């Protein structure tokens, strides 16, 4: 039976929801839950039976911030994503609506998780719809000394592979991590400040933290907890950038892609100026 027939029927409709939490680009970087009594496979994703509720979907016709709250058990995989620290990527939420026995589901809400809270054995996800991004101002290029490009991102084009070293964890005392001696190779270890620290956890997920400071030659201070990082594990540390010409040329050999304007005059050419002193 078609979805419209189910919706218009007085007695045959058996409404169910599918909740898809995605947190990466990998084929397994998702959690799927359904309000149905049995497991459902839809769109290449497996949705497990789980007690889960949500707010009503509202549509005012405006690009307002109509937030959605989803509640489920605190032991779910989606809840564990936020147990120690925020995930390294944005967690998207897509809610499908349909009927039991009919795989013709329709998206009734889509957005991203913005907050998480726990109380009385359940977790509440606060989410905002994708339409809120349409009301934001776009990025603007400023007239500035420093380079505005995101390191290793579009416009920067610095080689991420060339700026990456592989190291072994010697000790963990979150948020500090001690690496093996000589972990930086021939690179200046101070250049890794503001860089990235990456490792793959036991679930096969890539975790990313920023390097805030060097506590000592082999100890790094990161910007978040690393409770799932083990001693002896292999990690990747990537060079940072101060977004100035010196770092762009000497650290990354990428001066041709420098995005700043270093020759902005420091004195006002139309102002009062003494030519003799």
| pLDDT over 70 at 62, yes or no | no
pLDDT band at 191 (very low <50, low <70, confident <90, very high): very high
The pLDDT mean for the chain works out to: 87
Q: Give the pLDDT confidence score for residue 6 in this predicted structure.
A: 61
Q: pLDDT-derived band of residue 63, with 50, 70 and 90 as boundaries?
A: low
Indicate the length of the chain as a whole number: 277
Cβ density class 249-276: b for 16+ within 10 Å, e for less = eebbebeeebebeeeeeeeeeeeeeeee
In 3D space, the residue among 131, 129, 124 whose CA is nearest the CA of residue 112 turns out to be 129
Query: Is the model's pLDDT at 245 over the cut of 70?
Result: yes
Q: Which of 72-76, 137-141, 150-154, 167-171 has the lowest mean pLDDT?
A: 137-141
CA distance 219 to 93: 37
Q: According to the model, what pLDDT value does residue 141 have?
A: 79
Please give the average per-residue pLDDT across 7-33, as a whole number. 83
Confidence class for position 270, pLDDT limits 50, 70, 90 = confident
Look at residues 180, 217, 214 and name the one whose alpha carbon lies nearest to residue 195. Answer: 214
In order of their start, the domains of the chain are 3-133 (2.40.10), 164-240 (2.40.10.170)
Tokens of 37: 């009594």
**Which residue has better confidence, 71 or 65?**
71
pTM of the model: 0.77
* CB proximity list for 56: less than 8 A, separation 6 or greater: none
């Amino acid at each position: 039976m078609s979805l419209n027939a189910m919706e218009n029927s007085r007695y045959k409709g058996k409404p169910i929801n599918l909740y898809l939490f995605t947190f990466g680009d990998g084929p397994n970087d998702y959690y799927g839950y359904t309000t149905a009594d049995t497991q459902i496979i839809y769109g290449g994703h497996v949705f497990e039976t789980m007690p889960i509720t949500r707010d009503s979907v509202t549509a005012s016709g405006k690009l307002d911030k109509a937030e959605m709250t989803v509640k489920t058990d605190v032991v779910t995989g989606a809840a564990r994503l936020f147990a120690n620290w925020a995930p390294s990527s944005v967690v998207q939420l897509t809610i499908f609506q349909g009927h039991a026995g009919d795989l013709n589901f329709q998206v009734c809400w889509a957005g991203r998780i913005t907050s998480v809270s726990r109380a009385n054995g359940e977790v509440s996800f606060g989410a905002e719809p994708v339409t809120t991004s349409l009301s934001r101002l776009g990025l603007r290029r400023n007239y500035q000394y420093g380079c505005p490009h995101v390191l290793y991102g579009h416009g920067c084009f610095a080689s991420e592979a060339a700026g990456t070293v592989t190291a072994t964890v010697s000790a963990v005392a979150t948020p500090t991590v001690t690496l093996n001696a000589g972990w930086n190779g021939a690179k200046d270890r101070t250049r890794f400040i503001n860089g990235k620290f990456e490792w793959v956890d036991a679930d096969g997920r890539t975790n990313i933290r920023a390097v805030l400071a060097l506590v000592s030659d082999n100890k790094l201070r990161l910007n978040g907890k690393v409770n799932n990082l083990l001693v002896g594990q292999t990690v990747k540390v990537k060079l940072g950038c101060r977004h100035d010409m010196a770092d762009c040329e000497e650290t990354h050999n990428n001066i041709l892609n420098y995005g700043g304007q270093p020759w902005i005059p420091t004195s006002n050419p139309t102002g009062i100026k003494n030519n003799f002193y």
